Amino acid sequence: MVGEETKIEIVSRNSCGDQCYSSNDSISSKFSLVKTDCSHDFVWKTVDEKNGKYIISFYSNLLGKVRAQFTINGEPIKQTLLLNIKGRNYASVDVIHSDFYNPWGVAVNTSDDIYVTDLNNKKVQVLRDHEPFSRTFGRGVVYSPSGICTDSSGRIYVTDRSLNRILLFNSQHVLCKKIGDEGGLKEPRGISLDPEGNIIICNSGKSCVQLLSSEGDLLLTYDGRACGLQLPFDCTCHENNVYVSDFKGHSIKVFNDIGEFLFEFGEEGSGNGQFKSPTGLAVDKAGNLLVCDDYNHRVQVFTKDGRFLTKFGCYGDEMGQLNKPTGLAVCRNGDIVVAEFGNNRLQYFRN
């Protein structure tokens, strides 16, 4: 599958057919498209298990048949391996309206319950098994619920863009903490957690992304000045890197775990890999980055290093179409749940 890892195992054997190994052994690989016989910017890595076995992990963002050729100690392996790299196709499998009024953020907990910040209904809705669940919470507490995430213990973090704070609810949806009343937050939007349970917050009104402790203490500010970060909308943490959608900068900014800027990708436009105000972010089961492309009314899929893979959705209100996708999350079975701000609904997509 395009963008996914393909593992190839090569075993070195002697003339008797026994597996053998020497510390002086070396292996090289060559990958080329069969159709053009050209080597492209394929990505692979080789792990030497020090016992005569080599594991080659190969990635391709190009479709078609790829010829894989290998050489051990300068001697080519006679057998040529053909890899058929297939595309990703996402189909809409369900639509849920549930009287939403501008749904914004989406999160999925470990029980596969889906939490949706229902912005102009001023509450959080809970769904289960593609059906509206019997619970909502937050009325009278949240004014502009925007970003949302959950932790491993079932607690729910909700940003309130108008009241400039983060609200923490326990697994029973009871408010147990407010963060930000001291004045450190201004129009917070996207929220995520790092592997240690610290809070990553898009402090949008201050054009920065910050890391807070679980108690709300400031730990660091990500270096948005190095990349011209304008309006951070959403954030997600994957393999210790933090991905941030820049709504006004029409790009994705990537930082390491100590707040240093690494790289960015995207520019304003409607082509593949271009954005018109990117919003919600999520990481799928294959480790690829999903980006809501708000004013292009679609979701784009990228490798973790920013290479475009595919896209789905177009403007409209039919199944498979989108209107201002603002948030998304990935269910345990791999389904992608997209909140459509413009269509006042959730839509499920499946690869």
With a cut of 80, say whether residue 342 has pLDDT above it. Answer: yes
**Percent of residues, the chain, with pLDDT higher than 90:** 75
pLDDT tens digits, 204-245: 999 999 999 999 999 999 989 889 999 999 999 999 999 999
- Closest of 132, 116, 135 to residue 327, by C-alpha: 116
With a cut of 90, say whether residue 41 has pLDDT above it. Answer: no
By three-state DSSP, how is residue 70 classified? Answer: strand
- Tell me how far the alpha carbon of residue 35 is from its chain's centroid: 32
pLDDT for residue 348: 97
pLDDT for residue 86: 79
More confident residue, 4 or 177: 177
pLDDT for residue 6: 87
More confident residue, 267 or 25: 267
Q: What is the pTM of this model?
A: 0.83
pLDDT for residue 220: 96
pLDDT for residue 239: 94
Secondary structure of 140-174 in HEC code, one letter for each residue: CCCCCEEEEEECCCCCEEEEECCCCEEEEECCCCC
When mean pLDDT is compared over 40-44, 48-52, 318-322, the highest value belongs to 318-322
- Tell me how far the alpha carbon of residue 69 is from its chain's centroid: 33
**CA gap 210, 259 in Å, rounded:** 9
With a cut of 90, say whether residue 127 has pLDDT above it. Answer: yes
pLDDT for residue 92: 95
Cβ atoms of 179 and 212 closer than 8 Å: yes
pLDDT for residue 63: 73
**Class of residue 225 by CB neighbours under 10 A (exposed 0-12, middle 13-18, buried 19+):** exposed
